[in-house]
Amino acid sequence: MSFFAHSTAVIDDGCVIGDGTKIWHFSHVMPGATIGKNCILGQNVMIGPNVILGDNVRIQNNVSVYEGVICEDDVFLGPSAVLTNVINPRSAISRKDEFKSTIIRKGATIGANATIVCGNEIGAYSFIGAGAVVTKSVKSYALMVGTPAIQTCWMSEYGHKLQFNNDGEAVCHESGQKYLLSEGQINRVA
């Protein structure tokens, strides 16, 4: 076995789990799930059927990742974050044929207790603040806070707020990476 699973974890047949991945206490990985290399699934995490997790994904305690969710590489899901897959669920009505996909792009962070309503794309390196409720797609590098979530600023790939000059340029103080803001979009330029 090239991954670690705690003795209380349940790993169903038909999963693909990458080298170096660690699955902790009371977690459940369901059939058809694909988990990349060097991922960490905290305590009491559920990975639904056919979910796709890229490499180096970190999922903190008490998160359920339902069918229809795709997390690209380097995604962070904070404690008790909520992901959905049906817009109008009812107990007595099966809506499995109405699952809506949610894509969380490379490097995005979903804060503790945040809710991501299904059918949206969370942009690369975006940052969803703790407790936020995301009801629409999010631009890459955007910081989203509140209920419903609104964008308050832009974030670097290292998770720092960016301050843009009059030419639309910013530098991350930790990494030295340079960013350019143009027509409401950010691109890393160096």
Residues 95 and 187 in one domain: no
Q: What is the predicted pLDDT for the residue at 1?
A: 61
Q: Rounded to an integer, what distance in angstroms lies between the CA atom of residue 67 and that of residue 120?
A: 14
Question: How many domains does the structure of the chain reveal?
Answer: 2
Same domain, 132 and 164: no
pLDDT of 18? 98
pTM of the full structure: 0.96
26 and 15 in a common domain = yes
- List pLDDT tens digits, range 20-76: 999 999 999 999 999 999 999 999 999 999 999 999 999 999 999 999 999 999 999
Give dist(CA 59, CA 77) in Å, integer: 5
Residue 82 has pLDDT above 80, yes or no: yes
pLDDT in tens, 120-153: 999 999 999 999 999 999 999 999 999 999 999 9
For 152-163, what is each residue's pLDDT tens digit? 999 999 999 999
Does residue 42 sit in the same domain as residue 129? Answer: yes
Tell me if 168 sits within 8 A of 183, measured CB to CB: no
State mean pLDDT over 104-116.
98
Same-domain pairing of 182 and 129:
no
Clarify whether residues 52 and 123 are in a common domain. Answer: yes
Helix (H) or strand (E) holding 64: strand 64-65
- SS3 label, residue 50: coil
Domain hosting residue 187, numbered range: 158-190
Give the domain CATH number at 184: 2.20.70
| Residues sharing a CB contact under 8 Å with residue 90, sequence separation 6 or more, in sequence order | none
